[in-house]
Chains A and B, each alone.
Chain A
Amino acid sequence: MSDLAEKVLRGEVLPTARLIRDLDDGIDGAISELKILYPHTGKAEIIGITGAPGAGKSTLVNRLIENFRSRGKKVGVIAVDPTSPFSGGAVLGDRIRMQNHFNDPGVFIRSVATRGHLGGLSSSAYEIIKVLDAFGSDVILVETVGVGQDEVEIAGAAHTTVVVLTPGMGDEIQNLKAGILEIADVLVVNKADREGAQVTVQGLRRLLEMGGFDRKGWKPPICLTVGTEGTGIADLVQAVDQHREFWNRQKAQPGFENKRREEDFLRILQGQAISKLIVNLRRSGSLDEIVSRLVRGESDPYSESEKVLKLGDYRPT
C-alpha cells in the first residue's frame, strides 16, 4: 500500500493535509492515493451548511463542532470561500469563528477557495470530503461560499443540507422558492436575537405548506438559533440527526445507492474528461491540427468534437 494513503488511514495530520493540498492543486499522483482510500470511505456523516453571505454559517459550524465533540465524535470541516475572479487570490476567513477548536486533535479544519468553480463548492471539495472520511472523521461539516440561488451543489455532496437564513427577509422569502429552499433538509433562522425572527419562521412555514417541495415524505424542520450564544443548537443537531435517520431509510430503497454512485462517477468522469482529454489533446498536438483544419475551413467544430470522442483521442497519461 502507498505510504501516504496508509498514513491518512492511520489518522496522521501532516500527510493528510499534504494530500488535500495536492488534490486541490490538481497534482498528478494524488488521484492514485484516492483509489486506495476509496474503499475506506462512506463512513462519515456529511453535513452541508449553506446560506447567504454573513448569515452566520461559520458561527454555526463552530457550535456544531462543539456539540459533536462533546459526544466524542471526530470532526472534519471544509470551509469554502470565493476566489477573486480578478486576481485568482482569496482571503479565507471562515476559521476565525472556529478558534476554540484549533488545538483539539479531534478537529481538522481545511479552508478552500472556489478557484473559479461555480456551484458553491470548490471542484476539489468532493475529493477532500473523501480524504477526511478515510482519515477517520465521524462527521464532516462543509460550509459553502455565501450563496444566492444557484449554488446548490452541496445537496449532492452531503447527507443533510442545512440552509441558514436570517430574520427580516420579508418578501425575499417568496423568492427563495427556487433553488436554495429546494435543497434544504433543515432550515435555520439564525440571528434569532434580532427582530422579525418569528415572522421569518411563519413565512417559511407558509411557503413549505404551499408544497412543491416533495421530499418523499420529509418535511424540512425550521430551527431558530443564535449562533453567537449557542442557543438552539441542540434543536438543530436533533433535526440533523432525524434527517440522517430518514436518509438511512431512503438508502434502503432500490435504486438509491445506484443514483448516488452514478452521480459521483459522472462528476469524476467529467472532471477527468476536461483535465485529461483536453490537456492531452493539447500536448499531443491534436488540438493544433484540429484548429488548423477549422481555420482553413476544412471542417466544422461539431464534427471535430465527435471525431475526438469517437477516436478516444486522449492517450491517458
Chain B
Amino acid sequence: MAERKIRILMAKPGLDGHDRGVKVVARALRDAGFEVIYTGLHQTPEMIANTAVQEGVDAVGLSVLSGAHNTLFPAVIEALRKKGANSVMVFGGGIIPEEDMVFLKDKGVKAVFTPGTSTEEIISFVRTSVKSIH
C-alpha cells in the first residue's frame, strides 16, 4: 500500500575535515526525494553503526578523503554486522585508487565513487540497489 521512503545516512568517518563533497551528495539525494541523515565530521565506525541502526536507514554512504578507506570502510561494515544490521547497504566515496576498489568490494562495499562522479550516477545507484531491498 504505502511506498517506502528511501533513507540514507551520509557519514564522514575518520579524521579528515573536508565535508564539502559529502554535503553536496546529501543535498543531491534530498533533491532526488530521499531522506538523508547527516551527522557531521569525525565519526567513529561505532557511532556510524549506532546511528544507522537507530535511524532505520537503508544505506550508509561513507566519505573518506584521508586515504584511510581500507581500514574505515570495512570497520563500519563490521560494526553494522555486530549490531545485526546486515541488510544495511554500504557505499563509499573518496580518492580511492583502482587497486583498493577490488579489496573494498570484497569487504562488502557495494559501490565506490571517486571524485568527479556525477550526483546523478550516485542517485541512480542508490535508487536501484535500495529498491531491491524493499
Contacts and interface: CB of A to CB of B under 8 A. Distances in A.
B17 interface: no
A17 B54 contact: yes
B122 interface: no
A87 B33 contact: yes
Interface residues of B, number: 33
A91 B40 contact: no
Contacts, number: 94
Contacts of B50: 102-103
A115 B6 CA distance: 12
Given A25-B4, A99-B39, A89 B56 contact: no
Residues of B contacting A: mostly: mixed
Contact of B1 (A18, A26, A96): A26
Contacts of A111: 37, 55
B53 A27 contact: no
A108 B56 CA distance: 12
A87 B54 contact: no
Contacts of A109: 51, 54-55
Size class of A's contact patch? 20 to 34
Contact of B37 (A86, A95, A115): A95
A96 B39 contact: yes
B18 to A, nearest CB: 16
A168 B64 CA distance: 41
Interface string A172-201: 000000000000000000000000000000
Interface stretch (B23-31, B97-105, B113-121): B23-31
Interface string B1-26: 11111010000000000000000001
A18 B56 contact: yes
Given A87-B33, A99-B40, A111-B37, A17 B1 contact: no
A89 B29 contact: yes
B56 A20 contact: yes
Contact of A89 (B3, B31, B47): B31
A92 B38 contact: yes
B100 to A, nearest CB: 27
A17 B2 CA distance: 18
A20 B27 CA distance: 24
A88 interface: yes
Nearest to A20: B56
A83 B30 CA distance: 9
A91 B2 CA distance: 21
A113 B53 CA distance: 17
A83 to B, nearest CB: 8
Contacts of A14: 53, 83-85
Interface of A: 13-14, 17-18, 20-21, 24-28, 83-84, 86-93, 95-96, 99, 102-103, 108-111, 113, 115, 279
Given A91-B30, A95-B38, A99-B39, 8 more contacts: A88-B5, A91-B26, A95-B37, A99-B40, A103-B44, A108-B54, A109-B54, A113-B35
